[in-house]
Structure 1
Amino acid sequence: MDTRSRSFIYLSSFLFFVAITTWFVLPTKYHYDEHYATESKPAFSAPKQNVWAELTEVEAEQIYDFVYAQRPELNLVRRPKSALENSIYILETLRPNKSDAVPYLFDDGDVPQRWAKAVLALNVDDTPSLVYHAVGPLPISKESQILPLTFPFNSGRNDVKSEIKDYQAIIEFGDSLGQSISDITQELLGATVNPNSEDGLLCLPRPSRVATGGLVLWFQFFRPGLGSGGRTLLPQGIYVKVNATSLDQNDWTAGPFFYNGVIYDDVEDFRVAIKNSALKKTPPNLDGSWTDTENFDAKPDGRELPPPISVQPYGARYKVDKKEKYVSWFGFEFYITTAQATGLTLYDIRFKGERVIYELGLQEAMAHYAGDDPMAGGQEFLDTFFGMGKNMYELLPGYDCPAYADYMDTHYHMAHETHELPNSICVFEYTADHLLSRHTAQYSVTASRNTYLIVRSTSTVGNYDYAIDYIFYMDGAIEVKVRASGYIFAAFYRSNKTEGEDEYGHRIGEAVSSSVHDHVINFKADLDVAGPTNDMVRLALEPLTKSYDWDQPEVKERNTMHLVEYGVNEETGLDWPKNSGEFFIVYNSEERNAWGQRRGYRITSGTGMGSTPHLTIENSTTLGDSARWAEHDIWVLRQKDTEPRSADPLNYLAPIDPIINFNAMADHESLEHGAPDTTYDGDLVVYFNLGSHHIPHSGDVPNTLMHTSGSSVMFIPHNFHDRDPSRESVQGVRLQIDGKKYGGGFRGQEEDARADLRSRGEKKPKANYFGATYEESMKLPLEAFEPDLEKGYKTKKHEVTDLNFNGSAAGVWMVD
């Protein structure tokens, strides 16, 4: 596939996973062939229909036919061959309003009507436009309609126009431009642009500079990085400005040129400087083994042995209804669905039958760069535009997820095709390398294993892979975690010394520099803590100087600390407090635990590389109003059916006037409820950000490492229960190190009364286990240790996302 066509994303067909049967021995209870592989699991079904599920292929075909029949005046074609032809670009589920879903989930109401969202790529007044429509109810019948979809967008419109009239023409112009200055590129870079050669230079535009009234682009040269896909590590030092504001490509002009910190007015000025040695040459940024992501030849001590792994010899303890994508595990229950732009979303999360979160899912993933060259200086990405869902590629068994994980396929509908994504979601239980709790007493020691459930997907958008985890703990805590890996988008390193040479990054190679950038990844959590009527407070731990009667006369005043509660009474953005001196807690306004305390969940920055960030840049020139959610760490808003998302993927095409402006959502409406003069019922939504301030260094070459890029936010029960509920589910041991009855023994129990406690057969056990233990050895196949990926990986080929303008999303024709 030509590198210049990589923006058109397609997936290949896939092979079925095949197990092998080479046996190994591990200590557990059953033989693998008697239990692990062949024992049938009890049937498990979701209690309700998954009303958020993606469209089936049958539904999609019906919708395509219906729209063609209902809108003949649009002359829709299945396979557009030019930007002048209209087509149906995207079909997916229009998720039901919460006000329609909740009666079905909790009050035995009717199943919400099922509708689809259709994005039509239309040529309107010679301008490509993407227009949202609603189609339904489904299945298609005489009552079905196609209507403008407007209610989710606060811009007052349901379309986005694109200044990118012809993406292919832009790419072809870059090829032509590069060939026209082949003498310059050969002299300075040692290579030329050649579309017919796999190792020729690429001349590609910066993705973010879209100007009202037409395009003004900066092109930069890159080496393709064929050995490893590391093109973003291989920028070259020549930049060209192109005025593409005219509709006629023949009127486009190239220049000025930028090289080694100097601007040249036009190509002849540039050539003269080269001929007269009036410029200082910089070394070209050459590909080589330094961009390879693996080393097959190194043999450090220990590499001759495989690493430890986790196994699940008795089978899964969680239950999955794969048809409805419903999961149950130790009190947690929830539904899974996906979308092309945002990937995974979880719905109706309950713990031990109690409502916790109605909706939890990704909204947008933004990366914003800074630099003193024309590429890095204005570069940003809003990755849902490229498709966090349709780039959820197949997970590697035994690597992305344990070999024993359960895998789910997903699919999406684009350009009149249904695309299957095999094994793109995994679900598994895992035991951490640290305990959930432990205590050593005088005569005993107790240890409780820390086992949790993970739902994982990985989205590969251009140069970066984002692994997204939803993690569930036995105490009712929920964690959302993102880790990133892949190639950084580097900058060219200029060899002339300047005062600010380390102002935007570090030199990390012969002719390459890192580019400082912020990752801000936005999620929505529609909290229903013990029900929908909730309040948010800031519970602050503050210093205090106070006199106490019992201190007198020795201490007149005592310096101490106390708790002070501040209500969050209006829609607002908050930042994580200094010294972690505040707790952000969402309480149920009406429900209390056995001790009279309000039942709540605390929201806190979780595990990873420090506190989760917000955007450093203030009033970004490039982003405009397209990502105002990135300006604070966490937001609290009223829940509204008309505000289902904080962002839209098409904001990328219209950043100054986006189709969803978050500022119009977070508009300081009151969060007080219950008074006669308000219709607000206390149903609130939290938007929170993950990510990092990424200052890439030499350790990011060739790839950023996941353990240095992880960030998370946790939702932790806060007086939600009467006691720690994990005691009912956790596995562990109490080791009696002395036979004393008290002080760490078994309070109130005589020695002989403990004989029925779980042990390994001793009459008077010393080790007393709570939960099951492994009792006998069993056989496991080699596949449980190291899956055969040559047989078990279905995907034949991945299409690589081009991080330039995505041609299909810009409303141009599709290229096979």
Structure 2
Amino acid sequence: MRFSLGCSILGLQWLSGLVLARSSDSCAAPAYVPTTAEKATPFFVLNDTELQDITEWLLDPAQGLNLTDATSPNLTQTDNYIWYIEPLRPNKTDVLAYLDGNASSPAKYAHVVMAEGGKAEPDMTDNETTIQELAYWYNGVHGAHVPFNSRPADGPRNAAILPLIIEVMSSIADITADLVDMVFYGPDDPRSTAHLFTTNPQSKDGSDCLIWIPWRRNRMAYFDQPSDLYTSFDFSGSDPSLYKLRMIVYNLVVYNSVEEFRAAYESGQIIKVPPPATDDSFLQKDRLGAVRDLENRLAPTSVELEGKRYKIDEENGYVEYLGWSFYHQFTRDMGIGIFDIKFKGERILYELGLQEAAAQYSGNNPFQAATAYFDRYYGIGSCNVRLVPGYDCPYHATYLNSTWNDELGVHEVIDGICIFESDLGHPYSRHNEATYIHSSKASALTIRWIATVGNYDYLFDYSFWMDGTIAVDARASGYIQANYYRPSDGGHWGPRVQETITGTLHTHVMNVKADFDLIDTKNTFLKTDLIVENITAPWFPELGEFEMMRLNFTELQTEDEGLLPVPTNGQTMYSVINKDQKNKWGESRGYRILPGISNVHLASQNSPFMKKSGEWAKQAFAVSRQHDTEPSSSSTQQQNLPWAPPVEFWKFFDGESLVQEDLVMWINLGMHHYTRSEDIPNTIMTEAHSSIMFAPQNWGDTELAVDLTNAVIYHANENGSVVVPDVNGVSPPSCFPLTSQDQLLGVFENQNP
């Protein structure tokens, strides 16, 4: 874990009365139009009363759980206590019976995770509100149980391991003050100038708990203030008297005890290297340099001159937008999930949402080499931050509070989600003929949220385009986790970016689940390969044999074929089709999966730190049969069990048929982060960007945006008069000033200067 991580919450003082424009003929503020979902959402959040009732019921001695109140100030790691309570998402089979039929709304269940340190063999267990073990989610060797040595480092765990860290670091404070210009007497001791930061994973299979601590200056963005000092501890078991120091590493030299380290220091055997810089101004983002010409003007922004074109039922988390409709739910682990996605009344996807975000590092030191973060462990959704109007989201976006369950309460971030429509900046389609011009305006609705998980800020977008396309985008910013600069490394793990630090080579992989239901749950995965072959043709006798392209079609028959690469040179098209549903021309209706920017997977397939826990990240795409027993590719407790994780993704692929079955695609977004000096102070989202698109493939009889009224058509006049364009009754309102170059009249007549 990132020891005392806590998600970074942005504190803002909101300004009122800010003048954005001056106009005597101003446009009215966009009007909000509500809607009501046809059926109440089955994707719920537990309220305070429900949580209190569940907690009191679990604490009742009659249940036989021997629980200690998790809010007790005397709580220890050897107690049994509730770690968190959240809604148990209903099974898809029950939800579809409700949404598509006459079944009642699925029953509500609570998912409870308990730390059971008071057992003879302490562990953590997932339970339902019936106190039935929640085993059907987990196919790993431990089932629903997480060994004690792999448990999360919560308050009681930290309280147990902290005394030994303080004892060791206090005993060598004089040495660390000299070598790295830092000391540590405890996180709450005002004398401490070092920050406590630990590796993850801390265990391999639960048999032990071994951690590395890289000592960093406890100032702004400590991620980028590393020293060359590392300590390692063995915190195996629940008895603190057995915890011990494993080694101290300075300047890549290993010392096996405090005594050995001190003896080397006092005898002058330690070669001192520079400590981290004390001037951390390079980490601040205050504006610097001369103002660029005209940069004092407000940057372009999207506007909604005639009001919002989407509708929201906030109570049910339901959205409608020009043919689209969907529900959304927010959770601690994964943030927003989108459900029951329909276009023009037909279901495209049952579920679309983030499953996990991992970061695998490398480096010539024990900390970076052993770092493999699984951010679901920290709660990506719980790290959601309030969005900054006009900057994180366009002005006039609609803001919703994000609400989720965690530990024993209901948590909420004000304005943690934004929804907005934007001009895509290009037409959907256009063409010029001698007697005809056409251009259709392109726009999309986006639902966005941002999570600050330690040093990184992740931005996630789900966008719905007017032609039936769905896009998912992930972007990253924030601070890199820098490495100590060592000239002898030769830049093999990243370039030097400041006096004593280098950027660190690492890979981000973010897994997205796309549960396709094209009309119904009987779908097939089709590979269309563009192949080149040698042919002869009677109409080209002079050529003899020559190369020609053609298409070759392959249906994936079973899950044994379900682990897929990114197509080379774009010569394979992946699509999901419904062979029982044909368009007017007899083609199977379907959706194409379009690789976007940076659909990467892990470069290292056999790292001990992601051996089985990261199987979902080891190929770009995967397709499997949907099962309520396989709801996710990962789990909250995946982090500290890389050799024996609760969910082994590759076990999903056990030879089941993929032909006209309920299919799920598992898609990886991400980036191999080749760090650079431009990552200081912050990584830039324009480059740190990954995406995927789902686009209609014979879904309709023709192009699906022909019904748009935001389009212009010019037909030549036989009499030679000026052509008046047909704008379908849609024009900018009078309050929107246009220049002479914005005029539609004369475009047809003046195509060539």
Query: Is 1:152 aligned to 2:137, yes or no?
Result: yes
**Which secondary structure state, in structure 2, belongs to the residue aligned with residue 328 of structure 1?**
strand
**CA gap 1:715/1:27 in 2 versus in 1, 3 angstroms:** farther
Shift of 1:527: 0.3
In 2, are the aligned partners of 1:368 and 1:518 still within 8 Å (CA)? Answer: yes
What pairs up with 1:683-694 in 2 under 5 angstroms? 683-694=662-673
Q: Is the alpha carbon distance of 1:215 and 1:146 closer, same or farther for their aligned partners in structure 2, counting shifts above 3 Å?
A: closer
Does the residue aligned with 1:103 lie in a helix, a strand or coil? helix
Quickly say closer, same or farther: Cα 1:613–1:442, change in 2 above 3 A. Answer: same
Which AA in structure 1 matches 2:97? P
8 Å CA contact 2:86, 2:111 repeated in 1: yes
Distance 1:9 1:260, change over 3 A: closer
Change (3 A) 1:103 1:198: farther
Contact 1:161 1:653 in 2 (8 A): no
* Secondary structure of the corresponding residue to residue 550 of structure 1: coil
Identify which of 531, 536, 555 aligns with 1:547. Answer: 536
CA distance, structure 1, for counterparts of residue 417 and residue 632 of structure 2? 23
Aligned match for 2:253, one of 250, 262, 267: 262
Displacement of 1:585 in angstroms is 0.8
Distance in 2 between the 1:771 and 1:160 partners? Answer: 62
User: 1:385 corresponds to which residue?
Assistant: 377
Cα RMSD (Å) of the superposition? 2.7
Whether the 8 Å contact between 1:26 and 1:778 is mirrored in structure 2 is no
Partner SS, residue 449 of structure 1: strand
Q: Counterparts of 1:425 and 1:647 in 2: how far apart (Å)?
A: 24
User: Residue 713 of structure 1 aligns with which residue?
Assistant: 692
What is the Cα deviation at residue 334 of structure 1? 0.4
Q: Deviations over 1:231-268 (max 9, x none)?
A: 11111101123233465434443353222232234334
**Which AA in structure 2 matches 1:574?**
L
1:93 shift after superposition: 1.5
Matched AA of 2:710? Q
CA 1:19/1:727 → structure 2, altered by over 3 Å: closer, same or farther?
farther
Within 1, Cα distance between the matches of 2:78 and 2:343? 52
The worse-fitting range, judged by mean Cα deviation, of 183-192 and 314-323 is: 183-192
What residue number does 2:48 align with? Answer: 57
Tell me if structure 1 keeps the 8 A contact 2:80–2:118. Answer: no
Residue in structure 1 matching 2:554, options 543, 566, 570: 566
Give the partner amino acid of 1:24: A
Q: Is the 8 A contact 1:14 1:422 kept in 2?
A: no
Q: Which moved more, 1:399-408 or 1:49-58?
A: 49-58
- Structure-2 change in CA distance of 1:648 and 1:771 (3 Å): farther
Note if 1:6 corresponds to 2:4: yes
Deviation readout 1:410-447 (Å, 9 max, x if unpaired): 22233322222111111110002233222233355433
8 Å contact kept, 2:183–2:192: no
> 2:421 & 2:563 partners in 1: Cα distance?
35
Task: Tell me, in whole angstroms, the C-alpha distance in 2 between the residues paired with 1:185 and 1:771.
Answer: 74
Amino acid aligned to 2:57: F
Structure 1 residues 697, 171: closer, same or farther in 2, change over 3 A? farther
Report if aligned partners of 1:480, 1:713 keep a CA contact under 8 Å in 2.
Answer: yes
Q: Which amino acid aligns with 2:689?
A: G
TM-score (norm 1): 0.83
Q: Deviations over 1:336-372 (max 9, x none)?
A: 0011111110000011011100011111111111112
Q: 1:162 aligns with which of 148, 151, 165?
A: 148
The answer as to 2:126 corresponding to 1:132 is: yes
**Is 1:580 aligned to residue 570 of structure 2?**
yes
Structure 1: runs of 5+ lacking an equivalent: 136-144, 674-681, 742-749, 753-763, 780-816
Give secondary structure in 2 for the equivalent of 1:726.
coil
- How far residue 766 of structure 1 moved from its aligned partner, in angstroms, is 3.1
The 2-side partners of 1:26 and 1:351 are apart by 39
Contact 2:126 2:144 (8 Å CA) reproduced:
yes
Q: CA deviation at 1:73?
A: 4.2
Secondary structure of the equivalent of 1:532? coil
CA distance in 1 between counterparts of 2:276 and 2:9 reads 32
Q: Which residue of 2 aligns with 1:494?
A: 486
Q: Which residue of the partner structure matches residue 202 of structure 1?
A: 195
Note closer, same or farther for the CA distance 1:327–1:203 as it changes in structure 2 (3 Å cut): closer
Match of 2:727 among 760, 769, 773: 769
Question: Is 2:317 the partner of 1:325?
Answer: yes
Counting only pairs closer than 5 Å after superposition, residues 110-129 of structure 1 correspond to structure 2 as 110-125=104-119, 128-129=122-123
Q: Distance in 2 between matches of 1:531 and 1:576?
A: 27
CA change 1:318–1:265 in 2 (3 A) is: same
Per-residue deviation, 1:26? 6.2
Deviations 1:726-765 (A, max 9, x none): 12126233356xx444xxxxxxxx889xxxxxxxxxxx65
Cα offsets for 1:250-288 (capped at 9, x unmatched)? 444335322223223433443444445434322111243
1:603 to 578, 585, 593: 593
**Aligned counterpart for 2:644 among listed residues 657, 666, 672:** 657
Whose RCO is larger (CA < 8 A, sep 6+)? Answer: 1
Counterpart in 2 of 1:811? none
Instruction: Supply the distance in 2 between the matched residues of 1:27 and 1:462 (Cα, whole angstroms).
Output: 47
CA distance in 2, matches of 1:263, 1:22: 61
Q: CA deviation at 1:554?
A: 2.9
Q: Percent identity?
A: 30
Residue 705 of structure 2 corresponds to 726
**Contact (CA 8 Å) 2:456, 2:476: kept in 1 or not?**
yes
Q: CA deviation at 1:667?
A: 2.3
Superposed, 1:388-787 pairs within 5 Å as 388-443=380-435, 445-495=437-487, 497=488, 500-551=489-540, 553-571=541-559, 572-606=562-596, 608=597, 611-672=598-659, 682-729=661-708, 731-734=710-713, 739-741=716-718, 765-770=723-728, 772-777=730-735
2:86 pairs with 1:92: yes
Quick one: distance in 2 between partners of 1:219 and 1:243? 12
Partner secondary structure for residue 52 of structure 2: helix
Q: Distance in 2 between matches of 1:467 and 1:414?
A: 21
Report the CA distance between 1:481 and its aligned residue: 0.8
Match of 2:330 among 327, 338, 353: 338
String of CA shifts for 1:290-331, please: whole Å, max 9, x gaps. Answer: 443412353322343332222223221011110101011111
The 2-side partners of 1:475 and 1:9 are apart by: 38
Return the letter of the residue paired with 1:626. Answer: S
Once residues 441 and 290 of structure 2 are traced to their aligned partners in structure 1, the CA distance between those partners, rounded to angstroms, is 35
Distance 1:778 1:633 in 2: 46
Deviation at 1:701, TM superposition (A): 1.0
Shift of 1:116: 1.7
Give the Å deviation of 1:625: 1.4
CA distance in 2, matches of 1:559, 1:730: 45
- The alpha-carbon deviation at position 57 of structure 1 amounts to 2.6
Where 1:67 maps in the other structure, the secondary structure is helix
Per-residue Cα deviation, 1:696-738 (whole angstroms, up to 9, x for no partner): 11111111110111101111110011111112126233356xx
Shift of 1:5: 7.6
Q: Which runs of 5+ in 2 are unaligned?
A: 738-753
In structure 2, the partner of 1:678 is none
